[in-house]
Structure 1
Amino acid sequence: MSESLSAQQLLRIRSKLEAVVNGQSEGPAVDAAQAALQRLRSGEYGYCVECGDEISAARLAAKPDVALCVDCQALQDEDEDV
């Protein structure tokens, strides 16, 4: 789990993710929130699923379900634009 997040921050993030899951029945937002909750449970939350680098606390706070670091997200966005 990302060392840059405090326990309190992680609790807030978990609450936000659970609210998304509990507030909607299906869709991409629910899928992303469920995946993030699974990463939280497994201790992999806060690390990029592509390269393994730590995702910044600011990025996680802004978008709790984010799975990619800024660099990998940029590469993915470039690939989608092509």
Structure 2
Amino acid sequence: MIREYNVTLMAGSIACAAFLSILLLLVWLSGNALVLLVGASINIVVGGHHADDPNRDHGDESDITEAVRVSSAPLREPPGATQPFGEPP
């Protein structure tokens, strides 16, 4: 009697663990799908790149080159920035 009870308890525990594992996997997959869906929606709303849409302005290559050039330019130090601390410029 006790041995049969232990086998039943063990089988029930394994079935419960398998069910919870599958449930956790489904929750994880649906969470990933939700993140991808929201990300795609934001990309569409903000105005993602649509190469197949001829009516959409894709910008100019020269604009991109100019933005890269400006963003990679070294910053200029203000006058007196190289003076030691406490001394007037």
Output the TM-score relative to the length of structure 2.
Answer: 0.23
- Structure with more contact order per residue of length (Cα contacts < 8 Å, sep ≥ 6): 1
- Of the two, which has the highest radius of gyration? 2
Output the TM-score relative to the length of structure 1.
Answer: 0.24
